[in-house]
């Protein structure tokens, strides 16, 4: 049961959420879980297919446009719809649809080991024609351009013929919602059809974006049971394929859709799409399913987390990890959008969500994917440098708060551009990557440059006074408190960025002096500049309030009045949809973990007591209106020893989309929260931390669980960890012996041997 997600509801609101839940993707292509035949009448649907990073550029309208505000933004484009398939039954051509006739039985399922989604239907038409239909679809992990849909029709009592009409529709629009800042409010139609037709049994459509002039193609071909008739019909923006079958025998019908785009496949992209489509027909759907399963078997071997006796949470973690895999870009153009490839919320933009909430999952399970995500950030470094200049900084790189192609796409700077911390977050993930892999080549090729350019930013934006280094006028992660001086999170992350930029260059010098010297020339960097970074890190001001014994979120935070939580009814949350930002900024109220997050990421910067007091303080004033929050509170509650809270926040996190607890799953899945679920187990319950010279572990067992287990990839090893009522077992499943740190003590791990220890519950 925990390897699949099931639904039987056909209620309109449920179906909208299921469109996101049943989204299939492979990091390149993503397709929402729409019904091939559609719903009925005017039932709402968000029909969508996307290619990661395939975007258009649109103007940002401003009432008052000030200097440095971006004039354009990128937007993920809803590409041509290849999902459409209509089935007509009998000579009266009754249209199969789950909202007419009688649904004798119906179930849909997302299979996490197989990487397919299915619908099983037993249906009787209004006139009494009876048949069973199974829809199966997959977005291939092995052929990134492929969406394959397979249909099996079993006539039970059908008079006459069965006709199938399949569509490839180039007339598509993006989804808009005027009053929700988390969804785009304008610019629906972004594509025009540039070429359409058929060639050697392949139907194709080529669409082009209005402004970015990128092209996307889909070539569609079919394999099916013997048909009485079949023909392609080419319309202005749509190619149809019509087939008629005798209804005596079961009918199989496979639709192979190959998508390409000019970003990845260049000017020949249409030719490539057609070629690939014709090659694919040599395969059967069963063979492509087999490849998919093999790919996933290997994936789960490293990425599964097993919880022994809680099916709901087990289902939650597996679903979330699977969706992360489906969403992660695998090339230099793409990253992981806040909603993955499952919907249009946040317009397909990449945020800090990747580095702080998702990349850690890949780093410790599939490091190659993590590496790819970091390469994307290196790829957009030139834009980040340019943005820093626009923002008045002579040197350094300011990464865009939200982007696809690399330029800043945020029009509301207080909770956009002002979140300078994203540059330190990216630096942080490069540092974590280095600590977990010791990959010097990567450091030499990418890491040092990103660390140096981000370090330079802090010198530019900060300033020294009386021997202390201050950073003014920035916004931390908490978007309910904007444009402040010395946000603790930003300062401590900048400190880390500065210190490690200096440190990694020294490490590189010792390891590969030639490359170090080349870099100094390439970056016009001097040893003096490097020591300026080290000094700024050392002198970084980290706000501390002696009376409360906590780190204030920023210089003015504690002077503000606390939000009137008592008189804020439930329906006024999330606050951002009910109060003007300035109203919110005037109070002590947090949308999400901020200082608490800093205490997780850089726990050695403060004492355990300060961390605990800060947790107690901020917990009272945090609304968790952002889905990036509860996982962090779970992790920190685990660390502090608040077992009940850790479990409570974990439960809030693990099934957020499956249970639609934030009410907007229809707009796409909450990918950061999905990464947060994994983190709440591995970093939270299991107390794992990547430290400069060791992997540190401090596992606990939630009271309701008998056992949980997972594997980590670390420095080329695979380490398996089992935590149960009878203790902890650590097995070095592959790789050379190494020592890790368990409850603060170094312990040796030998290949294929299991190290056992007692559980210390606090
Ligand atoms: C959160 C941000 C996050 C963004 C995209 C916002 O609601 O406050 O921290 O980056 O969503 O997920």
CATH of the domain at 663: 2.60.420.10
What's the rounded Cα separation, in Å, for the pair 222 and 231?
Answer: 11
| Residue 98 shares a structural domain with residue 219 | yes
Q: Which residues line ligand 1 (CB under 6 A)?
A: 338, 346, 351-353, 477, 479, 591-592, 626, 628, 672
DSSP track, 520-566: HHHTT--HHHHHHHHHHHHTB----BTTTTB--SSTTGGGSEEP--T
Residue 145 falls within a domain, yes or no?
Answer: yes
| Residue 314 shares a structural domain with residue 165 | no
| Residue 200 shares a structural domain with residue 324 | no
Residue 721: strand pairing partners? 710, 730
Residue 475 falls within a domain, yes or no?
Answer: no
Give the closest residue to 653 by CA, choosing from 685, 606, 621, 617: 685
In the chain (762 residues long), the average pLDDT of successive 10-residue segments reads: 94 97 98 97 94 97 96 97 98 96 98 98 98 98 98 97 98 85 78 97 98 98 97 97 97 98 98 97 95 98 96 97 98 98 97 98 98 98 98 98 98 98 99 98 98 98 98 98 98 98 98 98 98 98 98 98 98 97 98 98 98 98 98 98 98 97 97 98 98 97 97 98 97 98 97 95 62
Closest-CA residue, ligand 1 atom 5, reads 338
Domain boundary among 259, 294, 329: 294
Task: Note if 438 is an active site residue.
Answer: no
Residue 582 falls within a domain, yes or no?
Answer: no
Q: What is the pLDDT of residue 263?
A: 97
| Residue 183 shares a structural domain with residue 48 | yes
Residue 52 falls within a domain, yes or no?
Answer: yes
| Residue 196 shares a structural domain with residue 340 | no
- Find the 402 Cα to ligand 1 centroid distance in Å: 10
DSSP track, 33-46: ---TT--STT----
| Residue 137 shares a structural domain with residue 257 | yes
| Residue 240 shares a structural domain with residue 263 | yes
What's the rounded Cα separation, in Å, for the pair 684 and 701?
Answer: 10
Q: What is the pLDDT of residue 178?
A: 74
Q: What is the pLDDT of residue 188?
A: 86
| Residue 208 shares a structural domain with residue 243 | yes
Report which ligand 1 atom has the smallest distance to the Cα of 591.
8
Residue 128 falls within a domain, yes or no?
Answer: yes
* Number of domains into which the chain is organized: 2
Closest-CA residue, ligand 1 atom 1, reads 626
- Find the 521 Cα to ligand 1 centroid distance in Å: 38
Q: What is the pLDDT of residue 513?
A: 97
- Contact of 671 with 358, CB cutoff 8 Å: yes
Domain boundary among 276, 294, 312: 294
Report which ligand 1 atom has the smallest distance to the Cα of 351.
10
- Find the 426 Cα to ligand 1 centroid distance in Å: 16
The residue from 145, 453, 479, 605 that is catalytic is 479
| Residue 232 shares a structural domain with residue 334 | no
Closest-CA residue, ligand 1 atom 11, reads 626
In whole angstroms, what separates CA 643 from the centre of its chain?
Answer: 28
Report which ligand 1 atom has the smallest distance to the Cα of 349.
5
Residue 647 has phi, psi (to 5 degrees) of -70, -40
Report the residue among 76, 181, 351, 671 best suited for mutation to probe ligand 1: largest number of ligand atoms under 8 A from its CB: 351
Q: What is the pLDDT of residue 181?
A: 76
- Find the 697 Cα to ligand 1 centroid distance in Å: 29
- Find the 651 Cα to ligand 1 centroid distance in Å: 20
Q: Name the residue range of residue 170's domain.
A: 4-294
Residue 728 falls within a domain, yes or no?
Answer: yes
| Residue 695 shares a structural domain with residue 715 | yes
Residue 316 falls within a domain, yes or no?
Answer: yes
Residue 595 falls within a domain, yes or no?
Answer: no
- Find the 625 Cα to ligand 1 centroid distance in Å: 10
**pTM of the full predicted structure?**
0.97
Q: Assign residue 51 the CATH number of its domain.
A: 2.70.98.40
Pairing of strands 561-562, 587-588: parallel
Domain boundary among 270, 294, 318: 294
| Residue 231 shares a structural domain with residue 324 | no
Q: What is the pLDDT of residue 762?
A: 56
- Contact of 497 with 427, CB cutoff 8 Å: yes
Report which ligand 1 atom has the smallest distance to the Cα of 576.
7
What's the rounded Cα separation, in Å, for the pair 465 and 514?
Answer: 37
| Residue 233 shares a structural domain with residue 263 | yes
What's the rounded Cα separation, in Å, for the pair 22 and 110?
Answer: 6
Report which ligand 1 atom has the smallest distance to the Cα of 625.
7
């Amino acid at each position: 049961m925990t390897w699949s997600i099931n639904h039987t509801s056909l209620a309109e609101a449920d179906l909208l959420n299921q469109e996101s839940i049943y989204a299939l993707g492979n990091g390149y292509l993503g397709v929402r879980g729409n019904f091939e035949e559609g719903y009925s009448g005017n039932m709402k649907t968000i029909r969508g297919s996307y290619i990661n990073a395939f975007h258009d550029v649109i103007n940002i309208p401003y009432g008052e446009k000030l200097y440095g505000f971006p004039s354009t933004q990128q937007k993920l484009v809803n590409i041509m719809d290849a999902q459409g398939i209509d089935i007509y039954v009998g000579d009266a051509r009754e249209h199969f649809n789950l909202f007419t006739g009688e649904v004798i039985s119906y179930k849909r399922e997302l299979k996490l080991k197989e990487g397919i989604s299915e619908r099983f239907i037993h249906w009787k038409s209004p006139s009494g024609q009876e048949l069973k239909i199974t829809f199966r679809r997959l977005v291939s992990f092995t052929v990134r351009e492929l969406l394959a849909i397979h249909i099996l029709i079993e006539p039970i009592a059908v008079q006459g013929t069965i006709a199938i009409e399949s569509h490839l529709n180039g007339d598509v629009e993006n989804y808009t919602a005027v009053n929700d800042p988390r969804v785009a409010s304008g610019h629906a139609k972004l594509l025009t059809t540039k070429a359409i037709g058929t060639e050697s049994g392949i139907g194709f459509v080529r669409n082009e974006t209005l402004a970015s002039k990128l092209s996307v193609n889909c070539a569609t071909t079919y394999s099916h049971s013997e048909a009485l008739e079949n023909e392609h019909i080419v319309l202005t923006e749509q190619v149809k394929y019509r087939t008629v079958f005798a209804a005596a025998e079961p009918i199989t019908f496979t639709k192979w859709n190959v998508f390409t785009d000019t970003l990845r496949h260049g000017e020949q992209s249409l030719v490539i799409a057609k070629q690939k489509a014709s090659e694919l027909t040599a395969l059967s759907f069963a063979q492509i399913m087999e490849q998919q399963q093999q790919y996933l078997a290997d994936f789960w071997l490293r990425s599964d987390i097993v919880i022994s006796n809680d099916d709901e949470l087990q289902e939650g973690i597996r679903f979330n990890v699977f969706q992360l895999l489906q969403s992660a870009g695998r090339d230099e153009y793409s990253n992981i959008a806040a909603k993955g490839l499952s919907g249009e919320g946040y317009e397909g933009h990449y945020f800090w969500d990747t580095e702080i909430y998702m990349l850690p999952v890949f780093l410790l399970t599939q490091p190659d994917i993590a590496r790819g995500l970091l390469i994307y950030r290196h790829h957009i470094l030139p834009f980040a440098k340019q943005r820093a200049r626009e923002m008045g900084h002579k040197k350094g790189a300011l990464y865009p708060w939200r982007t696809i192609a690399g330029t800043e796409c945020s029009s509301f700077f207080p909770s956009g551009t002002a979140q300078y911390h994203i540059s330190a977050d990216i630096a942080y993930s490069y540092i974590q990557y280095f600590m977990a892999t010791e990959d010097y080549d990567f450091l030499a090729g990418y890491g040092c440059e990103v660390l140096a350019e981000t370090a330079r930013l802090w010198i530019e934006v900060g300033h020294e006074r009386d021997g202390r280094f201050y950073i003014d006028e920035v916004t931390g992660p908490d978007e309910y408190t904007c444009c402040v001086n010395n946000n603790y999170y930003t300062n401590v992350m900048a400190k880390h960025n500065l210190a490690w930029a200096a440190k990694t260059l020294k490490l590189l010098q010792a390891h590969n002096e030639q490359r170090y010297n080349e870099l100094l020339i390439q970056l016009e960097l001097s040893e003096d500049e490097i020591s300026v970074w080290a000094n700024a890190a050392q002198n970084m001001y980290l706000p501390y309030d002696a009376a409360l014994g906590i780190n204030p979120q920023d210089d003015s935070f504690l002077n503000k009045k606390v939000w009137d939580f008592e008189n804020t009814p439930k329906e006024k949350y999330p606050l951002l949809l009910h109060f003007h930002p300035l109203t919110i900024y005037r109070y002590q109220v947090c949308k999400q973990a901020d200082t608490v997050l800093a205490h997780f990421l850089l726990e050695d910067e403060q004492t355990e007591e300060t961390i605990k007091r800060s947790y107690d303080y901020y917990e009272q004033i945090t609304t968790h209106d952002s889905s990036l929050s509860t996982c962090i509170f779970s992790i920190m509650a685990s660390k502090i020893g608040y077992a009940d809270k850790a479990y409570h926040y974990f439960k809030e996190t693990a099934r957020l989309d499956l249970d639609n607890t934030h009410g907007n799953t229809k707009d796409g899945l909450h990918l950061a929260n999905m990464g947060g679920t994994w983190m709440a187990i591995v970093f939270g319950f299991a107390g794992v931390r990547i430290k400069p010279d060791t992997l540190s572990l401090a596992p606990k067992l939630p009271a309701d669980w008998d056992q949980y287990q997972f594997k980590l990839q670390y420095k080329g090893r695979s380490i398996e960890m089992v935590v149960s009522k009878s203790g902890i077992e650590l097995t070095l499943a592959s790789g050379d012996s190494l020592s890790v740190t368990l409850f603060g003590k170094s312990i040796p791990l030998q290949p294929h041997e299991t190290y056992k220890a007692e559980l210390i519950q606090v």
